[in-house]
Structure 1
């Protein structure tokens, strides 16, 4: 497959691979202008775009109708052609009326109609994180979260597979939604959001015959995304302020290739993502008096958890401190006595022997612990959601005004 940049010559149709030549995955984007078949085409043209190198591919499903429109415009003596894809509505989940974009199914590699499936079965329907939180809070349901995909089990035996994409959005296939009870469709409709156009997740990879579980790095990334969404929704701000650059860093996280050579950079990247993105300003602003003067992002978050959540601070925060200590040991003074002692204690906290210097083992345990801490912190915030709501209602978005140390 050859991915091309928009406007770089005569862009023709292709049957795209789900991954770009740079190794990243494609997502659907809409272009306002492309040059195709010797004519400038304007409007809203769906393409497969790489989030990393910005290369694009116009798939055959788009190139064919664009070619017809260009020929018609040329026959009419026009110098440019305007094109807009036909948005389709399918018979699936007709009563619920979910929001979705049919172009996602038509353009994304691997989502085209398959024999035996209803039209529109693989259209992705997107939801905010609260849809999972709603079901997790109720004992009659179960939510099996497996990192970058999972399953909701309903009373009566029905179930629904879901994926979590690179932006932290939850989505399901329209055809799968059609199989759950009508009442559950209506509940999920309350959390339905506009299409995110990105389906890269365990659900999508499983459809392509790849490992749906995802890597440890992917599972940590999704747990961070969940924490950011949950804290934004209920605490009034995202604990981790994951900007565009931070999310790109999250997508580039990868397991060290050579442990002695690559572990230091891997730890630096993890600290940048898991610790340096902590929004200390917003956290301090939500705490009163001297608590708001705490120094350091980890100490600040620790104080906030004690005051706002009354949760088990040690189990939640230890993995973050272990990560920070390990990074410091590797970066600043490799071999320093005090840093080595802290590293040994960190190994013990992860269930290792203090003298066990197996970096690969420690890395795996640490990522698992970080992801678990993020998930547990999300759950604790959800448990206190009514308290956060009362504070926001009483103090106009300044919960520190009504909190005592």
Structure 2
């Protein structure tokens, strides 16, 4: 499988639609507005597999008619639709599915098409106790409704929420209507731990932040298994929390404070105090009365 990362530097690659010139098989190749993969750190450009196929086709035609090269300037890409939740008209781009490495499949065409949402889409799920919003890391989590359904999501560098079109298709209609109201246009970027886990099946050592998030999730799940109540309930404007989770570039108060505040909300303020009191009451009524008196 073609990688979504530069194999030399391990830096992420991004879809790029700029003007590019090359010489392939002694033919001039001029590209513009055709998806390429670019390392923003080095400026090096790579060809997605789909782009390679397109170039190979037109180079074959150029050789056939003895042309010196090819000029490819596609005007309309990304408009293809897939048979998932079509009546809801979700905004997405088939460019992502066809050109981002690892998404295209010979079966279930379009299932792994990324659909983008504003971070505010998560607020509903954090504020309603019937839902469970679980963050495995700052860029990967799940939303669950009782034992009826669950869906994974990611957070990209633009602070947009990403879900797979095929996963959305399996949700109840009322959830699709809500998601559609928060749906936004594609930005052609899905780099996140969500992508790494689900597509790359990444087993590398997770970051410190990811390990802490995972421990939080496991602790909450253990509490839920033992007492029927999770230890953590992430309430409030989750969109604000997520938008401030980036590591600060400059270690000054104004840069560090938003991160500390968000981590405090995730690990301290989200402790389910009502659940703790309820369990204590069940275990020791006298202790509960003493707590209330204090």
TM category (shorter chain) comes to: 0.5 to 0.7
Using the alignment, how far apart are the partners of 2:86 and 2:204 within structure 1?
29
RCO higher in structure (CA 8 A, sep ≥6): 2
CA contact (8 A) 2:134 2:141 kept: yes
Shift of 1:90: 0.5
Using the alignment, how far apart are the partners of 2:35 and 2:70 within structure 1?
18
1:272 aligned residue (250, 263, 277) = 250
When normalised by structure 2's length, the TM-score is: 0.68
2:240 aligned residue (210, 225, 230) = 230
| 1:151 alignment partner in structure 2 | 142
Q: Does 1:16 align with 2:5?
A: no
The structure with the greater share of residues assigned to helix is 1
Give the alignment of 1:276-287 within 5 angstroms: 276-277=254-255
After superposition, the Cα gap between the structure-2 partners of 1:159 and 1:136, relative to the gap in structure 1 and judged at 3 Å, is same
After superposition, the Cα gap between the structure-2 partners of 1:180 and 1:70, relative to the gap in structure 1 and judged at 3 Å, is same
| 2:12 alignment partner in structure 1 | 25
After superposition, the Cα gap between the structure-2 partners of 1:106 and 1:377, relative to the gap in structure 1 and judged at 3 Å, is farther
Using the alignment, how far apart are the partners of 1:276 and 1:186 within structure 2?
38
2:120 aligned residue (125, 130, 149) = 130
CA contact (8 A) 1:73 1:81 kept: no
| 1:364 alignment partner in structure 2 | none
| 1:104 alignment partner in structure 2 | 96
Using the alignment, how far apart are the partners of 2:265 and 2:68 within structure 1?
56
Using the alignment, how far apart are the partners of 1:377 and 1:28 within structure 2?
38
1:63 aligned residue (45, 48, 52) = 52
Using the alignment, how far apart are the partners of 1:41 and 1:127 within structure 2?
34
CA contact (8 A) 1:128 1:193 kept: yes
Q: Does 1:372 align with 2:266?
A: no
3-state secondary structure, aligned to 2:142: strand
Which segment drifts farther, 96-105 or 80-89? 80-89
Q: Structure 2: where are the runs of 5+ without partners? A: 213-236, 271-294
CA contact (8 A) 1:231 1:378 kept: no
After superposition, the Cα gap between the structure-2 partners of 1:140 and 1:71, relative to the gap in structure 1 and judged at 3 Å, is same
Using the alignment, how far apart are the partners of 2:43 and 2:265 within structure 1?
31
3-state secondary structure, aligned to 1:120: coil
After superposition, the Cα gap between the structure-2 partners of 1:86 and 1:188, relative to the gap in structure 1 and judged at 3 Å, is same
When normalised by structure 1's length, the TM-score is: 0.51
The structure with the greater share of residues assigned to strand is 2
Shift of 1:16: 2.8
Q: Structure 1: where are the runs of 5+ without partners? A: 1-14, 221-226, 233-237, 251-269, 279-297, 302-318, 321-369, 380-405
